[in-house]
Amino acid sequence: MRKAVRLVALVSVFFAAGALAQTFVWPAKWTTAKPGEAKPGGTLVDYTISDFRTMNPFITAEADSIPDLMTMNGLGLAMRDPTTGEWIPYMATSWEVSEDQTEITFKIRKGMKWSDGEPITADDWIMTYRIHMDPDVGSNLRDTFFIGDKPVTLEKIDDYTLKFVYPKPDAEAFAIASLSPWPAHVFGPVYEEKGAEGIKGMWGLNEDPKKIVTWGPFVVEAYRPGERVIFKRNPYFGEWNKDEAGNPLPYLERYQVNIYKDLNAALAAFLTGEIDVFYPRTVEHIAQIKKAIKAGKLDATLKVNASPIASSQFVVFNWNKKSNPFKEKLFRSAKFRKAMSHLINRQAVVDVVYGGLGTPMYGSVYPVLTQWINPNAPKYPYDPKKAAQLLAELGFKKKDKDGYLVDAEGNRLEFNLSTNAGNNQREQIAKIIVDEAKKVGVKINFRPIDFNTLVGQLLSKGDDRPFDAIIIGLTGGGLDWPFGSNVIPCRANLHLWNRSGTCLDPRETLMEALYYKGRTTLDFKERVKIGYRLQEVEGDLQPIVYIAGPNYHVAWNNKLAGFHPDEIISSIWGSYELPLLYQAK
Protein backbone atom coordinates (compact mmCIF):
# COMPACT_ATOMS: atom_id res chain seq x y z
CA MET A 1 0.00 0.00 0.00
CA ARG A 2 2.69 2.45 -0.85
CA LYS A 3 2.77 5.11 -3.44
CA ALA A 4 5.73 6.87 -4.90
CA VAL A 5 5.41 10.48 -3.87
CA ARG A 6 7.80 12.11 -6.23
CA LEU A 7 10.87 11.52 -8.20
CA VAL A 8 12.30 14.90 -8.82
CA ALA A 9 12.90 15.45 -12.49
CA LEU A 10 15.95 17.55 -11.78
CA VAL A 11 18.04 14.51 -11.10
CA SER A 12 19.10 12.91 -14.28
CA VAL A 13 20.06 9.38 -13.62
CA PHE A 14 22.21 7.75 -16.21
CA PHE A 15 24.64 4.94 -16.37
CA ALA A 16 27.98 5.97 -17.75
CA ALA A 17 29.63 3.39 -19.93
CA GLY A 18 31.67 1.00 -17.82
CA ALA A 19 31.42 2.80 -14.50
CA LEU A 20 28.09 2.24 -12.83
CA ALA A 21 27.99 5.59 -11.06
CA GLN A 22 24.56 7.17 -10.88
CA THR A 23 25.35 10.80 -11.43
CA PHE A 24 24.04 13.83 -9.59
CA VAL A 25 24.07 16.84 -11.90
CA TRP A 26 24.57 20.21 -10.24
CA PRO A 27 22.08 22.56 -11.97
CA ALA A 28 23.51 25.51 -13.84
CA LYS A 29 20.87 27.76 -12.28
CA TRP A 30 22.67 27.49 -8.95
CA THR A 31 25.62 29.45 -10.29
CA THR A 32 26.33 32.56 -12.31
CA ALA A 33 28.86 30.67 -14.44
CA LYS A 34 27.84 29.83 -17.96
CA PRO A 35 27.97 26.12 -18.84
CA GLY A 36 31.42 25.08 -19.99
CA GLU A 37 32.99 28.31 -18.73
CA ALA A 38 34.53 26.85 -15.58
CA LYS A 39 38.04 25.42 -15.61
CA PRO A 40 39.49 22.93 -13.16
CA GLY A 41 42.17 23.96 -10.65
CA GLY A 42 42.68 26.80 -8.20
CA THR A 43 42.07 27.44 -4.52
CA LEU A 44 39.34 29.07 -2.48
CA VAL A 45 40.54 30.70 0.74
CA ASP A 46 37.71 31.28 3.20
CA TYR A 47 37.93 32.11 6.91
CA THR A 48 36.33 31.44 10.27
CA ILE A 49 36.54 33.37 13.53
CA SER A 50 36.78 30.45 15.91
CA ASP A 51 39.40 27.75 15.95
CA PHE A 52 38.47 24.24 14.91
CA ARG A 53 37.95 21.86 17.80
CA THR A 54 38.06 18.42 16.24
CA MET A 55 37.83 16.54 12.96
CA ASN A 56 35.51 14.01 14.59
CA PRO A 57 31.96 14.29 13.22
CA PHE A 58 30.45 12.62 16.28
CA ILE A 59 31.68 15.05 18.91
CA THR A 60 31.78 18.29 16.95
CA ALA A 61 29.57 20.97 18.43
CA GLU A 62 30.42 24.24 16.73
CA ALA A 63 29.27 25.79 13.47
CA ASP A 64 31.67 25.59 10.50
CA SER A 65 33.44 22.56 11.94
CA ILE A 66 35.83 20.53 9.82
CA PRO A 67 33.30 17.67 9.35
CA ASP A 68 30.70 20.26 8.26
CA LEU A 69 33.13 21.82 5.79
CA MET A 70 33.94 18.42 4.29
CA THR A 71 30.26 17.53 3.82
CA MET A 72 28.94 20.92 2.66
CA ASN A 73 27.20 21.50 6.02
CA GLY A 74 26.05 17.97 6.54
CA LEU A 75 24.41 17.09 3.23
CA GLY A 76 23.18 13.53 2.95
CA LEU A 77 20.46 11.49 1.31
CA ALA A 78 18.53 14.67 0.51
CA MET A 79 19.44 18.30 0.01
CA ARG A 80 17.49 21.48 -0.61
CA ASP A 81 17.28 23.19 -3.95
CA PRO A 82 18.25 26.76 -3.06
CA THR A 83 16.06 28.16 -5.84
CA THR A 84 12.87 26.59 -4.46
CA GLY A 85 13.72 25.48 -0.93
CA GLU A 86 12.36 22.01 -1.76
CA TRP A 87 14.01 18.75 -0.77
CA ILE A 88 15.59 16.88 -3.67
CA PRO A 89 17.40 13.53 -3.61
CA TYR A 90 21.17 13.87 -3.33
CA MET A 91 22.98 10.79 -2.08
CA ALA A 92 19.72 8.98 -2.74
CA THR A 93 18.19 8.69 -6.20
CA SER A 94 14.58 8.57 -5.05
CA TRP A 95 12.34 8.00 -2.06
CA GLU A 96 8.95 6.68 -1.16
CA VAL A 97 6.77 7.94 1.66
CA SER A 98 4.40 5.44 3.26
CA GLU A 99 0.66 6.09 3.31
CA ASP A 100 0.60 7.03 6.99
CA GLN A 101 3.63 9.28 6.43
CA THR A 102 5.68 7.66 9.18
CA GLU A 103 8.12 5.77 6.94
CA ILE A 104 10.41 7.05 4.23
CA THR A 105 12.34 4.56 2.14
CA PHE A 106 15.41 5.88 0.30
CA LYS A 107 17.11 4.30 -2.69
CA ILE A 108 20.80 5.06 -2.24
CA ARG A 109 22.72 6.28 -5.27
CA LYS A 110 24.98 3.55 -6.63
CA GLY A 111 28.63 4.02 -7.47
CA MET A 112 29.48 6.55 -4.75
CA LYS A 113 32.85 6.05 -3.08
CA TRP A 114 34.62 7.29 0.04
CA SER A 115 37.76 9.35 -0.41
CA ASP A 116 39.78 6.15 0.21
CA GLY A 117 37.99 4.38 -2.65
CA GLU A 118 35.67 2.16 -0.59
CA PRO A 119 32.04 2.00 -1.79
CA ILE A 120 29.36 3.94 0.10
CA THR A 121 26.45 1.70 1.13
CA ALA A 122 23.53 1.52 3.56
CA ASP A 123 25.86 0.17 6.27
CA ASP A 124 27.60 3.53 6.46
CA TRP A 125 24.34 5.27 7.40
CA ILE A 126 23.42 2.57 9.87
CA MET A 127 26.76 2.86 11.67
CA THR A 128 26.66 6.67 11.59
CA TYR A 129 23.17 6.62 13.09
CA ARG A 130 24.17 4.12 15.78
CA ILE A 131 27.11 6.20 16.91
CA HIS A 132 25.16 9.47 16.92
CA MET A 133 22.46 7.81 19.02
CA ASP A 134 24.85 6.51 21.70
CA PRO A 135 24.36 8.91 24.63
CA ASP A 136 27.90 8.22 25.87
CA VAL A 137 29.37 9.63 22.66
CA GLY A 138 27.59 12.92 23.31
CA SER A 139 26.83 13.75 19.67
CA ASN A 140 25.10 17.06 19.12
CA LEU A 141 22.92 15.43 16.46
CA ARG A 142 21.40 12.92 18.86
CA ASP A 143 18.60 15.28 19.85
CA THR A 144 17.53 15.75 16.26
CA PHE A 145 16.61 12.05 16.10
CA PHE A 146 13.99 12.49 18.78
CA ILE A 147 10.42 13.59 18.16
CA GLY A 148 9.04 14.30 21.60
CA ASP A 149 10.67 11.54 23.62
CA LYS A 150 10.51 8.89 20.92
CA PRO A 151 13.45 8.18 18.63
CA VAL A 152 13.42 8.01 14.85
CA THR A 153 14.78 4.62 13.79
CA LEU A 154 16.73 3.58 10.75
CA GLU A 155 16.61 0.17 9.05
CA LYS A 156 18.69 -1.33 6.31
CA ILE A 157 16.54 -3.07 3.69
CA ASP A 158 19.45 -3.99 1.43
CA ASP A 159 22.86 -2.53 0.56
CA TYR A 160 21.27 0.34 -1.36
CA THR A 161 17.94 0.79 0.43
CA LEU A 162 17.33 2.50 3.78
CA LYS A 163 14.12 3.01 5.70
CA PHE A 164 13.56 5.80 8.25
CA VAL A 165 10.72 5.08 10.66
CA TYR A 166 9.23 8.03 12.53
CA PRO A 167 7.11 7.75 15.69
CA LYS A 168 4.64 10.12 13.98
CA PRO A 169 4.54 12.17 10.78
CA ASP A 170 7.01 15.01 11.12
CA ALA A 171 7.63 18.33 9.40
CA GLU A 172 11.37 17.82 9.73
CA ALA A 173 11.34 14.24 8.42
CA PHE A 174 13.63 15.05 5.50
CA ALA A 175 15.93 17.23 7.54
CA ILE A 176 16.37 14.28 9.89
CA ALA A 177 16.84 11.82 7.03
CA SER A 178 19.35 14.00 5.22
CA LEU A 179 21.91 12.69 7.75
CA SER A 180 25.46 12.88 6.43
CA PRO A 181 27.11 9.44 6.45
CA TRP A 182 30.59 8.61 7.78
CA PRO A 183 32.58 5.54 6.81
CA ALA A 184 31.50 2.41 8.67
CA HIS A 185 34.76 0.71 7.69
CA VAL A 186 36.66 3.37 9.68
CA PHE A 187 34.40 3.98 12.67
CA GLY A 188 32.66 0.59 12.88
CA PRO A 189 35.56 -1.58 14.06
CA VAL A 190 36.58 0.95 16.71
CA TYR A 191 33.01 1.30 17.94
CA GLU A 192 32.48 -2.46 18.13
CA GLU A 193 35.72 -2.94 20.01
CA LYS A 194 35.99 0.05 22.33
CA GLY A 195 32.52 1.63 22.27
CA ALA A 196 31.88 5.32 22.86
CA GLU A 197 35.29 5.99 24.41
CA GLY A 198 36.96 4.60 21.31
CA ILE A 199 34.92 6.91 19.07
CA LYS A 200 35.69 9.96 21.22
CA GLY A 201 39.39 9.24 20.86
CA MET A 202 39.29 9.30 17.06
CA TRP A 203 40.00 12.08 14.56
CA GLY A 204 41.32 14.71 16.94
CA LEU A 205 43.01 17.75 15.48
CA ASN A 206 46.40 16.04 15.58
CA GLU A 207 45.12 13.06 13.58
CA ASP A 208 47.14 12.17 10.51
CA PRO A 209 45.12 13.73 7.63
CA LYS A 210 45.67 10.57 5.60
CA LYS A 211 43.34 8.76 7.99
CA ILE A 212 40.47 11.21 7.45
CA VAL A 213 37.87 9.82 5.07
CA THR A 214 34.86 11.64 3.63
CA TRP A 215 32.38 11.37 0.80
CA GLY A 216 32.46 15.15 0.25
CA PRO A 217 34.16 17.24 -2.44
CA PHE A 218 37.24 18.00 -0.32
CA VAL A 219 39.21 16.02 2.22
CA VAL A 220 41.62 17.32 4.86
CA GLU A 221 45.18 17.72 3.64
CA ALA A 222 46.73 19.64 6.53
CA TYR A 223 45.75 21.44 9.69
CA ARG A 224 47.87 23.99 11.55
CA PRO A 225 46.55 24.65 15.08
CA GLY A 226 44.91 28.05 15.34
CA GLU A 227 45.97 28.97 11.78
CA ARG A 228 44.22 27.15 8.99
CA VAL A 229 42.91 23.93 7.59
CA ILE A 230 43.62 22.94 4.00
CA PHE A 231 41.46 20.53 2.05
CA LYS A 232 42.31 18.94 -1.25
CA ARG A 233 39.98 17.69 -3.92
CA ASN A 234 38.47 14.25 -3.39
CA PRO A 235 38.77 12.61 -6.85
CA TYR A 236 36.04 10.04 -6.12
CA PHE A 237 33.50 12.83 -5.60
CA GLY A 238 33.74 13.78 -9.27
CA GLU A 239 32.70 10.27 -10.32
CA TRP A 240 29.12 10.93 -9.29
CA ASN A 241 28.97 14.78 -9.11
CA LYS A 242 29.01 16.50 -12.51
CA ASP A 243 28.09 19.85 -13.95
CA GLU A 244 25.55 20.09 -16.76
CA ALA A 245 28.33 19.74 -19.32
CA GLY A 246 29.37 16.44 -17.71
CA ASN A 247 32.58 17.73 -16.10
CA PRO A 248 33.57 16.22 -12.77
CA LEU A 249 33.19 18.43 -9.68
CA PRO A 250 34.53 20.21 -7.72
CA TYR A 251 36.46 22.43 -10.09
CA LEU A 252 38.78 23.73 -7.39
CA GLU A 253 41.89 21.79 -6.48
CA ARG A 254 42.09 23.12 -2.93
CA TYR A 255 39.90 24.68 -0.32
CA GLN A 256 41.46 26.49 2.59
CA VAL A 257 39.90 28.01 5.70
CA ASN A 258 41.98 30.44 7.72
CA ILE A 259 41.27 31.16 11.37
CA TYR A 260 41.08 34.81 12.42
CA LYS A 261 40.29 35.39 16.07
CA ASP A 262 39.91 39.08 15.29
CA LEU A 263 37.54 40.20 12.53
CA ASN A 264 39.78 43.18 11.71
CA ALA A 265 42.59 40.78 10.87
CA ALA A 266 40.22 38.96 8.51
CA LEU A 267 39.23 42.23 6.90
CA ALA A 268 42.88 43.17 6.38
CA ALA A 269 43.47 39.75 4.83
CA PHE A 270 40.52 40.21 2.48
CA LEU A 271 41.58 43.71 1.46
CA THR A 272 45.04 42.46 0.57
CA GLY A 273 43.76 39.43 -1.31
CA GLU A 274 44.93 36.77 1.15
CA ILE A 275 41.40 35.49 1.60
CA ASP A 276 38.78 35.34 -1.12
CA VAL A 277 35.51 35.75 0.77
CA PHE A 278 34.50 38.11 3.55
CA TYR A 279 31.27 38.54 5.48
CA PRO A 280 31.09 42.19 6.63
CA ARG A 281 29.38 42.75 9.94
CA THR A 282 29.48 46.53 10.28
CA VAL A 283 29.13 49.67 8.22
CA GLU A 284 32.88 50.26 8.65
CA HIS A 285 33.73 46.91 7.08
CA ILE A 286 31.51 47.71 4.10
CA ALA A 287 32.93 51.21 3.76
CA GLN A 288 36.51 49.92 3.74
CA ILE A 289 35.76 47.31 1.09
CA LYS A 290 33.90 49.85 -1.04
CA LYS A 291 36.79 52.27 -0.74
CA ALA A 292 39.33 49.65 -1.80
CA ILE A 293 37.21 48.59 -4.77
CA LYS A 294 36.64 52.18 -5.84
CA ALA A 295 40.33 53.02 -5.60
CA GLY A 296 41.08 50.04 -7.83
CA LYS A 297 43.10 48.33 -5.09
CA LEU A 298 40.78 45.38 -4.87
CA ASP A 299 38.91 43.55 -7.62
CA ALA A 300 35.94 42.28 -5.67
CA THR A 301 32.15 41.97 -5.70
CA LEU A 302 30.22 43.30 -2.71
CA LYS A 303 26.62 42.38 -1.92
CA VAL A 304 25.22 44.60 0.81
CA ASN A 305 21.92 43.77 2.55
CA ALA A 306 21.61 40.52 0.61
CA SER A 307 19.07 39.27 3.13
CA PRO A 308 18.19 39.44 6.83
CA ILE A 309 20.06 37.03 9.11
CA ALA A 310 18.09 34.32 10.90
CA SER A 311 18.60 35.87 14.29
CA SER A 312 16.48 38.13 16.42
CA GLN A 313 16.55 40.49 19.37
CA PHE A 314 13.49 40.70 21.53
CA VAL A 315 12.08 41.72 24.91
CA VAL A 316 10.48 39.07 27.06
CA PHE A 317 8.30 39.93 30.06
CA ASN A 318 8.09 37.61 33.05
CA TRP A 319 4.60 36.29 33.70
CA ASN A 320 5.60 34.49 36.90
CA LYS A 321 5.91 37.14 39.61
CA LYS A 322 3.89 35.87 42.55
CA SER A 323 5.73 38.18 44.97
CA ASN A 324 4.61 41.26 43.02
CA PRO A 325 0.96 40.93 41.96
CA PHE A 326 0.96 44.40 40.37
CA LYS A 327 3.77 43.54 37.96
CA GLU A 328 2.48 40.03 37.39
CA LYS A 329 -0.91 41.34 36.31
CA LEU A 330 0.78 43.92 34.11
CA PHE A 331 3.16 41.52 32.36
CA ARG A 332 0.38 38.99 31.77
CA SER A 333 -1.71 41.59 29.97
CA ALA A 334 -1.48 41.35 26.18
CA LYS A 335 -2.59 44.97 26.01
CA PHE A 336 0.44 46.02 28.03
CA ARG A 337 2.79 44.08 25.79
CA LYS A 338 1.18 45.58 22.70
CA ALA A 339 1.72 49.02 24.23
CA MET A 340 5.37 48.12 24.76
CA SER A 341 5.64 47.01 21.14
CA HIS A 342 4.25 50.40 20.10
CA LEU A 343 7.00 52.02 22.17
CA ILE A 344 9.86 50.29 20.37
CA ASN A 345 11.31 52.50 17.70
CA ARG A 346 12.52 49.70 15.45
CA GLN A 347 13.73 52.04 12.73
CA ALA A 348 15.93 53.83 15.26
CA VAL A 349 17.29 50.45 16.35
CA VAL A 350 18.10 49.52 12.75
CA ASP A 351 19.72 52.92 12.14
CA VAL A 352 21.65 53.25 15.38
CA VAL A 353 22.49 49.68 16.29
CA TYR A 354 22.95 48.15 12.84
CA GLY A 355 24.02 51.31 11.01
CA GLY A 356 20.98 51.06 8.75
CA LEU A 357 21.87 47.48 7.81
CA GLY A 358 19.14 45.61 9.62
CA THR A 359 15.53 44.54 9.38
CA PRO A 360 12.69 45.30 11.84
CA MET A 361 10.91 42.27 13.27
CA TYR A 362 7.35 41.81 14.53
CA GLY A 363 7.07 38.06 15.05
CA SER A 364 9.04 34.91 15.77
CA VAL A 365 9.46 33.89 12.11
CA TYR A 366 12.69 35.35 10.76
CA PRO A 367 12.10 37.75 7.86
CA VAL A 368 14.58 35.77 5.74
CA LEU A 369 12.14 32.81 5.72
CA THR A 370 10.00 34.59 3.15
CA GLN A 371 7.74 31.66 2.29
CA TRP A 372 6.72 31.43 5.97
CA ILE A 373 5.97 35.09 6.71
CA ASN A 374 2.28 35.79 7.13
CA PRO A 375 1.85 39.35 5.84
CA ASN A 376 -1.47 39.69 7.66
CA ALA A 377 -0.28 38.71 11.13
CA PRO A 378 -1.02 41.54 13.60
CA LYS A 379 1.79 44.05 14.05
CA TYR A 380 2.20 46.78 16.64
CA PRO A 381 4.72 49.17 15.12
CA TYR A 382 6.26 52.25 16.72
CA ASP A 383 3.46 54.61 17.72
CA PRO A 384 3.81 56.32 21.14
CA LYS A 385 0.29 57.80 20.94
CA LYS A 386 -1.29 54.36 20.57
CA ALA A 387 0.93 53.09 23.36
CA ALA A 388 -0.27 55.87 25.68
CA GLN A 389 -3.86 55.13 24.73
CA LEU A 390 -3.48 51.39 25.49
CA LEU A 391 -1.82 52.19 28.81
CA ALA A 392 -4.69 54.56 29.66
CA GLU A 393 -7.11 51.70 28.95
CA LEU A 394 -5.14 49.68 31.49
CA GLY A 395 -5.77 52.42 34.08
CA PHE A 396 -2.60 54.44 33.76
CA LYS A 397 -4.12 57.84 33.21
CA LYS A 398 -2.38 60.19 35.61
CA LYS A 399 1.24 61.13 36.04
CA ASP A 400 3.02 61.52 39.38
CA LYS A 401 5.26 64.40 40.36
CA ASP A 402 8.23 62.85 38.54
CA GLY A 403 6.22 62.63 35.33
CA TYR A 404 5.63 58.88 35.39
CA LEU A 405 2.28 57.18 34.84
CA VAL A 406 0.39 55.84 37.85
CA ASP A 407 -2.82 53.81 38.15
CA ALA A 408 -5.83 54.57 40.41
CA GLU A 409 -4.10 52.92 43.40
CA GLY A 410 -1.03 55.07 42.89
CA ASN A 411 1.19 52.26 41.53
CA ARG A 412 3.83 53.73 39.29
CA LEU A 413 4.36 52.13 35.86
CA GLU A 414 7.92 51.06 36.47
CA PHE A 415 9.92 47.90 35.81
CA ASN A 416 13.48 46.62 35.46
CA LEU A 417 15.03 45.66 32.15
CA SER A 418 18.26 43.77 31.77
CA THR A 419 20.45 42.14 29.17
CA ASN A 420 23.87 40.59 29.12
CA ALA A 421 26.56 43.10 30.01
CA GLY A 422 29.12 43.69 27.30
CA ASN A 423 26.72 43.11 24.42
CA ASN A 424 26.88 46.62 22.96
CA GLN A 425 24.06 46.09 20.50
CA ARG A 426 21.62 44.95 23.17
CA GLU A 427 22.70 47.74 25.50
CA GLN A 428 22.07 50.28 22.74
CA ILE A 429 18.65 48.76 22.05
CA ALA A 430 17.84 49.00 25.76
CA LYS A 431 18.77 52.69 25.82
CA ILE A 432 16.51 53.43 22.86
CA ILE A 433 13.63 51.61 24.58
CA VAL A 434 14.22 53.39 27.91
CA ASP A 435 14.24 56.82 26.22
CA GLU A 436 11.08 56.20 24.24
CA ALA A 437 9.28 54.79 27.29
CA LYS A 438 10.21 57.80 29.38
CA LYS A 439 8.56 60.11 26.86
CA VAL A 440 5.14 58.55 27.54
CA GLY A 441 5.78 58.18 31.27
CA VAL A 442 6.95 54.58 31.66
CA LYS A 443 9.92 54.23 33.97
CA ILE A 444 12.32 51.50 32.91
CA ASN A 445 15.39 50.81 35.03
CA PHE A 446 18.02 49.32 32.76
CA ARG A 447 20.66 47.16 34.39
CA PRO A 448 22.91 44.88 32.30
CA ILE A 449 24.11 41.73 34.06
CA ASP A 450 26.47 38.87 33.40
CA PHE A 451 25.35 36.52 30.59
CA ASN A 452 25.31 33.36 32.64
CA THR A 453 23.35 35.01 35.44
CA LEU A 454 20.92 36.25 32.83
CA VAL A 455 20.50 32.76 31.40
CA GLY A 456 19.93 31.45 34.92
CA GLN A 457 17.14 33.99 35.42
CA LEU A 458 15.54 33.29 32.05
CA LEU A 459 15.53 29.54 32.54
CA SER A 460 14.39 29.61 36.17
CA LYS A 461 11.12 27.76 36.73
CA GLY A 462 8.10 28.21 38.99
CA ASP A 463 5.61 30.94 39.74
CA ASP A 464 8.05 33.49 41.12
CA ARG A 465 11.00 34.15 38.87
CA PRO A 466 13.69 36.75 39.55
CA PHE A 467 13.35 39.21 36.64
CA ASP A 468 10.91 41.71 35.09
CA ALA A 469 11.97 42.02 31.47
CA ILE A 470 15.02 40.89 29.51
CA ILE A 471 16.40 41.69 26.07
CA ILE A 472 17.87 38.58 24.51
CA GLY A 473 18.03 36.80 21.17
CA LEU A 474 17.75 33.33 19.73
CA THR A 475 19.17 32.02 16.47
CA GLY A 476 18.39 29.12 14.21
CA GLY A 477 14.90 28.07 13.26
CA GLY A 478 14.23 25.69 10.44
CA LEU A 479 12.96 26.10 6.94
CA ASP A 480 10.67 23.13 7.48
CA TRP A 481 8.84 24.43 10.51
CA PRO A 482 10.23 27.72 11.79
CA PHE A 483 8.73 27.52 15.28
CA GLY A 484 10.85 26.32 18.18
CA SER A 485 10.03 23.00 19.79
CA ASN A 486 11.72 24.37 22.88
CA VAL A 487 9.86 27.68 22.75
CA ILE A 488 6.16 27.36 21.89
CA PRO A 489 4.92 24.44 24.02
CA CYS A 490 4.00 25.70 27.50
CA ARG A 491 6.24 23.22 29.31
CA ALA A 492 9.23 23.81 27.03
CA ASN A 493 12.42 25.11 28.61
CA LEU A 494 12.66 28.17 26.33
CA HIS A 495 9.02 29.15 26.89
CA LEU A 496 10.77 32.15 28.34
CA TRP A 497 7.81 34.28 29.39
CA ASN A 498 5.99 31.64 31.41
CA ARG A 499 7.80 28.81 33.15
CA SER A 500 5.06 27.88 35.57
CA GLY A 501 4.72 24.62 33.67
CA THR A 502 1.16 25.24 32.51
CA CYS A 503 -0.46 27.43 29.88
CA LEU A 504 -1.86 30.55 31.55
CA ASP A 505 -3.54 32.18 28.55
CA PRO A 506 -5.94 30.32 26.22
CA ARG A 507 -3.91 31.68 23.30
CA GLU A 508 -0.84 29.89 24.65
CA THR A 509 -2.81 26.65 24.61
CA LEU A 510 -3.91 27.35 21.06
CA MET A 511 -0.36 28.14 19.94
CA GLU A 512 0.86 24.88 21.46
CA ALA A 513 -1.87 22.93 19.65
CA LEU A 514 -1.07 24.64 16.34
CA TYR A 515 2.63 24.00 16.89
CA TYR A 516 2.11 20.24 17.21
CA LYS A 517 -0.39 20.19 14.36
CA GLY A 518 2.13 21.82 12.02
CA ARG A 519 5.01 19.75 13.28
CA THR A 520 3.14 16.54 12.40
CA THR A 521 2.01 17.71 8.96
CA LEU A 522 4.23 16.45 6.18
CA ASP A 523 2.58 18.43 3.37
CA PHE A 524 4.40 21.74 2.95
CA LYS A 525 1.48 23.91 1.79
CA GLU A 526 -0.78 22.59 4.52
CA ARG A 527 1.97 23.31 7.04
CA VAL A 528 2.42 26.87 5.81
CA LYS A 529 -1.30 27.47 6.39
CA ILE A 530 -0.98 26.29 9.98
CA GLY A 531 2.10 28.47 10.33
CA TYR A 532 0.10 31.50 9.14
CA ARG A 533 -2.59 30.80 11.74
CA LEU A 534 0.05 30.37 14.43
CA GLN A 535 1.54 33.76 13.58
CA GLU A 536 -1.88 35.40 13.89
CA VAL A 537 -2.40 33.99 17.38
CA GLU A 538 1.16 34.89 18.30
CA GLY A 539 0.70 38.43 17.07
CA ASP A 540 -2.42 38.82 19.16
CA LEU A 541 -0.78 37.38 22.27
CA GLN A 542 2.61 39.12 21.83
CA PRO A 543 4.29 36.72 24.28
CA ILE A 544 7.60 38.13 23.09
CA VAL A 545 8.05 41.62 21.70
CA TYR A 546 10.38 41.36 18.72
CA ILE A 547 12.69 44.21 17.80
CA ALA A 548 15.04 43.74 14.86
CA GLY A 549 17.86 41.69 13.44
CA PRO A 550 21.01 42.36 11.41
CA ASN A 551 21.37 41.79 7.67
CA TYR A 552 23.66 39.47 5.75
CA HIS A 553 26.38 40.91 3.52
CA VAL A 554 29.05 39.16 1.52
CA ALA A 555 32.06 40.19 -0.55
CA TRP A 556 34.23 38.01 -2.74
CA ASN A 557 37.41 38.45 -4.69
CA ASN A 558 36.78 38.34 -8.44
CA LYS A 559 39.62 35.93 -9.01
CA LEU A 560 36.95 33.38 -8.12
CA ALA A 561 33.69 32.90 -9.98
CA GLY A 562 30.68 30.63 -9.98
CA PHE A 563 28.90 32.28 -7.05
CA HIS A 564 25.13 32.20 -6.56
CA PRO A 565 22.88 34.37 -8.69
CA ASP A 566 21.62 37.37 -6.67
CA GLU A 567 18.19 35.80 -5.96
CA ILE A 568 19.71 33.01 -3.88
CA ILE A 569 22.41 34.91 -2.03
CA SER A 570 21.11 34.92 1.54
CA SER A 571 21.97 34.03 5.10
CA ILE A 572 20.16 30.72 4.50
CA TRP A 573 21.70 29.68 1.17
CA GLY A 574 25.04 31.44 1.50
CA SER A 575 26.82 32.85 -1.50
CA TYR A 576 28.08 29.75 -3.29
CA GLU A 577 27.84 26.01 -3.84
CA LEU A 578 31.34 24.79 -3.11
CA PRO A 579 31.60 22.27 -6.00
CA LEU A 580 30.57 24.95 -8.51
CA LEU A 581 33.16 27.59 -7.60
CA TYR A 582 36.13 27.98 -9.91
CA GLN A 583 39.18 30.14 -10.34
CA ALA A 584 38.53 32.71 -13.07
CA LYS A 585 41.83 34.61 -12.94
Give the residues lining the site for other proteins (CB under 8 A): 45, 50-51, 53-54, 56, 59, 135-136, 138, 140, 142-144, 146, 200, 204-206, 221-222, 224-227, 230, 256, 258-262, 264-265, 268-269, 271-272, 274, 292, 295, 297, 450-453, 455-456, 458-459, 472, 474, 476-477, 484-487, 493-494
* Closest CB to other proteins among residues 245, 459: 459
DSSP per-residue letters across 71-117: TTTT--SEEE-TTT--EEESSEEEEEEETTSSEEEEEEPTT-B-TTS
Q: Least CB distance from residue 538 to other proteins, whole Å?
A: 15
Burial of 314 (0-12, 13-18, 19+ CB in 10 A): buried
* Closest CB to other proteins among residues 162, 315: 315
Q: Least CB distance from residue 290 to other proteins, whole Å?
A: 14
Cα radius of gyration rounded to whole Å, the chain: 26
**SS3 state of residue 569:** coil
* Closest CB to other proteins among residues 445, 475: 475
DSSP per-residue letters across 255-288: EEEEE-SSHHHHHHHHHTTSSSEE---SHHHHHH
Residues 205 and 199: their CA atoms lie apart, in Å, by 14
CA 525 to chain centre: 21
Q: Among residues 369, 371, 370, 391, which one has the least CA distance to residue 380?
A: 391
Measured CA distances, 134 to 58, 168, 185, 202 (Å): 10, 22, 18, 15
* Closest CB to other proteins among residues 137, 569: 137
* Closest CB to other proteins among residues 230, 430: 230
Residues 297 and 348: their CA atoms lie apart, in Å, by 34
Residue 28, Cβ neighbours under 10 Å: how many?
Answer: 16
Residues 488 and 544: their CA atoms lie apart, in Å, by 11
Q: What are 328-337's contacts with CB under 8 Å, separation 24+?
A: 330/394, 330/413, 330/415, 331/415, 331/468, 331/469, 331/497, 332/504, 332/505, 333/394, 334/505, 334/507, 334/540, 334/541, 334/542, 335/390, 335/393, 335/394, 336/390, 336/391, 336/394, 337/542, 337/543, 337/545
Task: Decide: 231 and 218 in contact? Cβ < 8 Å.
Answer: yes
Q: Least CB distance from residue 327 to other proteins, whole Å?
A: 24
Q: Least CB distance from residue 128 to other proteins, whole Å?
A: 18
Q: Where are the beta strands (DSSP E) in 185-247?
A: 218-224, 228-233, 241-242
Q: Least CB distance from residue 459 to other proteins, whole Å?
A: 6
* Closest CB to other proteins among residues 28, 265: 265
Q: Least CB distance from residue 483 to other proteins, whole Å?
A: 9
Number of residues that make up the chain: 585
Q: Least CB distance from residue 82 to other proteins, whole Å?
A: 22
Residues 304 and 302: their CA atoms lie apart, in Å, by 6
* Closest CB to other proteins among residues 136, 464: 136
* Closest CB to other proteins among residues 167, 484: 484
* Cis-peptide into 489, omega within 30 deg: no
* Closest CB to other proteins among residues 196, 434: 196
Q: Least CB distance from residue 489 to other proteins, whole Å?
A: 12
* Closest CB to other proteins among residues 263, 510: 263
Q: Least CB distance from residue 374 to other proteins, whole Å?
A: 20
* Closest CB to other proteins among residues 143, 526: 143
* Closest CB to other proteins among residues 147, 530: 147
Q: Least CB distance from residue 289 to other proteins, whole Å?
A: 12
Residues 139 and 475: their CA atoms lie apart, in Å, by 20
Helix (H) or strand (E) holding 469: strand 469-472
Q: Least CB distance from residue 61 to other proteins, whole Å?
A: 8
First to last CA, the chain: 56
Q: Least CB distance from residue 269 to other proteins, whole Å?
A: 7
